[in-house]
Amino acid sequence: MTDMITQVVSCDDSPAIARATAILRSGNLVAAATETVYGLAADATNDEAVKKIYQVKGRPSNNPLICHVLDISMAESLVEVSETAKLLMEKFWPGPLTLVLPQRTPTQIAPTVSAGLSTLAVRCPNHPAMRSLIKGSGLPLAAPSANPSGKISPTTAEHVRSGLDGKIEMIIDGGATDLGIESTIISIDQNDVIRLLRPGTITSDEIADASNKDILDNNSNHITAPGQLESHYAPDALIRLNAKTALAGEYHIGFGEVKGNFNLSETGDLSEAAKKLFTAIGKADQSADKIAIAPIPLTGIGLAINDRIKRAAAPRPQTDTDTDHHLNSNGNE
């Protein structure tokens, strides 16, 4: 693919948003802020456009994408929305909850979005940048994180530019993302069984409360998408988890009282830590060959943070953590 000029524009720039929607309608890619991480969007009904996402990211073709919709009614035109699914959409949308549901047939959605699966992951973003693209184009947008496959997810327009400059036409800058980690993903099957496929800032407990149902943890016996087997986020540096102190040569990412070179949250606030996580890993990766990360509590949003740092550490055989690096790898990029 020949390199192009990547324009970075503000999400308040209406003429630029109009140009972005034209780019999408012509089958090309635009990156945009969402409340979780920056997404790389394409017209989900155009197979050639969706293929460009896989190509630009270097994403394995068996790792399905999330389809972004404006509202519940757009979701209902694409997937079978059970009563439980609707309840959760009403409670958490727009917001960082992705639901994997049976696709309607026939469907306008390109088969590559779901990597050929009969289900589709739908999410309704709550950020004006991505919302204006869906609204302006009138299209459902397939959008994974806007980073090269295997790298950490981007939480600023600058992160996107450093990974994809010259490969996409436009980046819609909406500032640093509010939440900092990717959406919670659940599946709801034909028997109304809810499974957590990827933890996020909306916790399993909140979903259980809202649905009045038990949430099953996804595990390696219940792989519903091939992408979920993969470990991602690998920075160049080696990562050591549960580190209260740093060893020689390590960049130490702290949390709470474990100060570190960069502290995710001095007050021990897990939302703040999630928001800063990928910036911290990026900074650490630029500063040292080895990274140590302080213990993060395994409660609430801490579960999502631990999921991401475990996967960042996963390809490294010699860390001193007692966690199983291959547990619960849900395949993100």
Query: Which residue has the CB atom at the shortest distance from ligand AMP?
Result: 144
In the shown chain, the binding pattern of residues 121 to 150 toward Mg ion, with x for contact by CB under 5 A and - for none, equals: -----------------------xx-----
Closest distance of CB 97 from ligand AMP, Å? 12
Strand partners, 120: 101
- Select 185 or 314, whichever has its Cβ closest to ligand AMP: 185
- Select 226 or 268, whichever has its Cβ closest to ligand AMP: 226
Residue 332 as a binder of ligand AMP (CB under 6 A): the answer is yes
DSSP letter for 180, please: -
Residue 96 as a binder of ligand AMP (CB under 6 A): the answer is no
Three-state DSSP class for 297? Answer: coil
Q: Which does 224 bind (CB under 5 to 8 A by kind): ligand AMP, Mg ion, none?
A: ligand AMP
The answer to whether 321 touches 298, Cβ cutoff 8 Å, is no
Residue 199 as a binder of ligand AMP (CB under 6 A): the answer is no
The residue count for binding Mg ion (CB under 5 A) is 4
The answer to whether 69 touches 156, Cβ cutoff 8 Å, is no
- Select 9 or 185, whichever has its Cβ closest to ligand AMP: 185
Residue 117 as a binder of ligand AMP (CB under 6 A): the answer is yes
Closest distance of CB 145 from ligand AMP, Å? 5
Bond into 106 cis (ω within 30): yes
Distance between CA 118 and CA 200 in Å, rounded? 24
Residue 120 as a binder of ligand AMP (CB under 6 A): the answer is yes
Cα–Cα distance list, 253 to 119, 182, 240, 278, 289 (Å):
38, 20, 10, 11, 13
- How many distinct helices (H) and strands (E) make up the chain? 9, 15
If we measure between CA atoms, which residue out of 177, 109, 97, 174 comes closest to residue 142?
A: 109
Query: 233-292: which residues touch ligand AMP (CB under 6 A)?
Result: none
Q: At what angle do helices 270-287 and 301-313 cross, to 10 degrees?
A: 20
CA atoms lying within 13 Å on the CB side of residue 69: 20
Three-state DSSP class for 229? Answer: helix
Determine which residue in the list 94, 125, 140, 144 makes contact with ligand AMP, applying CB under 6 A. Answer: 144
The residue count for binding ligand AMP (CB under 6 A) is 23
Please choose, out of 212-220, 225-233, 261-269, 272-280, the segment that lies near ligand AMP by the rule CB under 6 A. 225-233
Q: Which does 140 bind (CB under 5 to 8 A by kind): ligand AMP, Mg ion, none?
A: none
Site residues for ligand AMP per CB under 6 A: 63-66, 100, 114, 117, 119-121, 144-145, 182, 185, 197, 224-225, 227-228, 330-333
